[in-house]
Structure 1
C-alpha cells in the first residue's frame, strides 16, 4: 500500500497552531490574517518535514475551481508541425499554474460531443477549441456559457463571442512579396499553387502578396496552378517551363509546393537562386532540408498555443481576433534578379 499522505491537521499539530492558521499560511494569506512570522515559519517547516501536499480534489470540490483546462482539436495534436501549438499551450498552462487536458476528435462530431461531455464531467475550468487548418467553425452548443478561446479558427459572428487566435496570413503574403522586391525583383514573379477562395490561408496569402507587390509598383506575372503537394507542383512547373516560361521568381503557397518546384527547376537546369528565386510559406522542416535552403514565412504554431491559453487564463478583456505575426526565415533561395 502507498504511504498515507500527510493531512493539514497533522501539519497544524506539529507546528503548534490551529488548522485554520496552517491553512492561511499555506495559501499565502499570512499577512492579511496577521499571522506572526514565527508561526508562519513553524507551519512551513512542518509542511516540509511531513512532505505535505494539498488535496486538490477536496479543494476543487470546495471552491468549484479545478485549475484545469481542456484543448479540443481535430487533428492538431497528431500533426508533426502543428503539434508545436500543443507545446505552446502546455507551457502557458504551466506558467499559469494549470493542467492541460488534450482531446482529439479527427473531425468526428460524435467523438467531439463525447469529449466535451467528459471534460465537463471533470469540471475543467475553461476550453481551447482548436483547428489544424485555419477555418471558420461553429462553437459546439455544449461549450456555451463556459470560457472558450478559439485557436487557429474563427467564428462567423460579426461581434466575436470569444478570443480568436490566428496566424497573420495577410501580413505574411506582404512579407513574401517584400522579400523578393527588396532583393530587386520587379518582373517575372509567378505564384505557384491554387489559391482557392474557400481556403483561408491561400486567400489571405494571395491578398497580401498582391498588396505587397503593388506597394513596390509591380504585380504577379502569372499563376502556375497546382494542388498543394510536391508531385502536382513538379508537374505544373515542369509543364510551364517546357512551354517556354522563364520566371525570375516563384512564390509558392507552401513548402510542399516549393519542394516540387525545386525538383522541376533542377530537372530543367535552372539554378536557385541564380536563375530563379523561390520563397514559400509555413517554414516546415522541409525548408531547412532543401538545398539551397528555402526562404519561408513561418507559421507561429508555438506562439499561437501560448497566446490562446494566455488569453484564456489572463486578465479579462473584450473578445477580439488576435493575428499572430509570421516571421520571415531568410535562407539561400532568394537572390538578385538574373541579368538577361
Structure 2
C-alpha cells in the first residue's frame, strides 16, 4: 500500500501550533493574521519534514478554485511543429502555479462539445481555445461567459469579448519583401503559392508583401499558383521555368512550397541564391535542413502559447487582439543582387 500522506493536523502538532495557524502559514497569510516569524518557521520546517502536500480536492471544494486550465484545440497538440505552442502554454501555466489539461478534437464538433463538458465537470478555472491554422471561429456555447483566451484564432467583430492571440502575418509579409529589397532585388520578384481570400495567412502575407514592395517602388512580377505542398509547388514551378520564367527572387508562402521550389530550380539548373534568391514563411525544421539553408519568417508558436496563458492568468485587462511579431530567420538562400 502507498504511504499515507501527512495531514495538516500532523504538521500543526509537530510545529506546536494550532491547526488554523498552520493553515494560515501554508496559505501565505501569516502577515495579515499576525503570526510570529518563529511560529512560521516551525510550520514550514514541519511541513518539509513530513513532506506535506495540501489536499487540492478539498481546497477546491472550499474555494471553488482548482488552479487548473484546459487547452482545447483541433489538431494543434498532435502537430510536432505547432506543438511548441503547447510548450509555451505549459511553461506559463507552471509559472502561475496551475496545471494544464490538453484536449484535441480533430475538428469534430461532437467531440469538442463532449470534451469541454468533461473539463467543466472537472471544474477547470479557465480555457485556452486554440486552432492549428489562424482562422475565424465560433466560440462553443459552453464557453460563453467563462474565462477564455483564443489562441491562433478570431471570433470576429469590432469589439472582441476575449483576448485573441495571433501571429502578425501582415507584418511578416512586409518583412519578407523588405529582406529582398535590402538585398537589392527591385524587380523579377515572383510569388509562389495560391493566396486564397479565405486563408488568413495567405491573404495577410500577400497584402504585406504588396504594401512593402510598393513602398520600395516596385511590385510583384507575377505569381506561380500552386497548393501549399511540395509536390504541387514542384510541378507548378517546373512548368513555369520550362515555359520561360526567369525569376530573380521567389517568395514562397510557406516552407513546404519552398521545398518543392528548391527541387524544381535545381532540376532546371538554377543555383540558389546565385541565380535566384528564395525566401519563405513558417521557419519549420525544413528551413534549416534545406541546402542552402532557407531564409524564412518564423511563426512564434511558443510565444503564442505563452502569451495566451499569460493573458488568461495575468492581471485583468480589456479584451483585445494581440498580434505577435514574426522574426526573420536569415540564412543562405537570399543573396545580394549584383548591380549591373
Normalising by structure 1, we get a TM-score of 0.99
Q: What is the Cα deviation at residue 151 of structure 1?
A: 0.2
User: RMSD over aligned Cα, in angstroms?
Assistant: 0.9
Q: Distance in 1 between matches of 2:199 and 2:72?
A: 22
Matched with 2:98 is 98
Matched with 1:270 is 270
Task: Note the residue ranges of structure 2 that are not aligned, 5 or more in a row.
Answer: none
SS in 2 for 1:107: coil
Q: Distance in 2 between matches of 1:130 and 1:295?
A: 28
SS in 2 for 1:135: strand
Matched with 2:5 is 5
Matched with 2:217 is 217
Are positions 1:114 and 2:114 aligned together?
yes
Matched with 2:22 is 22
Matched with 1:301 is 301
SS in 2 for 1:158: coil
Counterparts of residues 163-182 of structure 1 (less than 5 Å): 163-182=163-182
Q: Deviations over 1:71-128 (max 9, x none)?
A: 0000000011100000000001001110000000000011000000000000000000
Q: Deviations over 1:24-48 (max 9, x none)?
A: 1111111111111111111111111
Deviates more, 1:223-232 or 1:41-50: 41-50
- After superposing on structure 2, the runs of 4+ consecutive aligned residues of structure 1 that deviate more than 6 Å are none
SS in 2 for 1:209: helix
Q: Distance in 1 between matches of 2:50 and 2:259?
A: 60
Q: What is the Cα deviation at residue 157 of structure 1?
A: 2.2
Task: Note the residue ranges of structure 1 that are not aligned, 5 or more in a row.
Answer: none
Q: Distance in 2 between matches of 1:243 and 1:145?
A: 57
Verify the 8 A CA contact 1:298 1:328 in the aligned structure 2: yes
Q: Deviations over 1:216-274 (max 9, x none)?
A: 11110000101111111111111111111110000000000001111111111100000
Are positions 1:289 and 2:289 aligned together?
yes
Q: What is the Cα deviation at residue 51 of structure 1?
A: 1.3
Q: Distance in 2 between matches of 1:50 and 1:288?
A: 50
Q: What is the Cα deviation at residue 13 of structure 1?
A: 1.2
Deviates more, 1:16-25 or 1:165-174: 16-25
Normalising by structure 2, we get a TM-score of 0.99
Counterparts of residues 150-165 of structure 1 (less than 5 Å): 150-165=150-165
Matched with 1:136 is 136
Q: Distance in 2 between matches of 1:46 and 1:85?
A: 39
Q: What is the Cα deviation at residue 149 of structure 1?
A: 0.3
Q: What is the Cα deviation at residue 337 of structure 1?
A: 2.4
Q: Distance in 1 between matches of 2:152 and 2:91?
A: 18
Q: Distance in 2 between matches of 1:47 and 1:339?
A: 73
Matched with 1:320 is 320
Are positions 1:66 and 2:66 aligned together?
yes
Q: Distance in 2 between matches of 1:258 and 1:143?
A: 39
Q: Deviations over 1:280-320 (max 9, x none)?
A: 00000000000000000000000000000000000000100
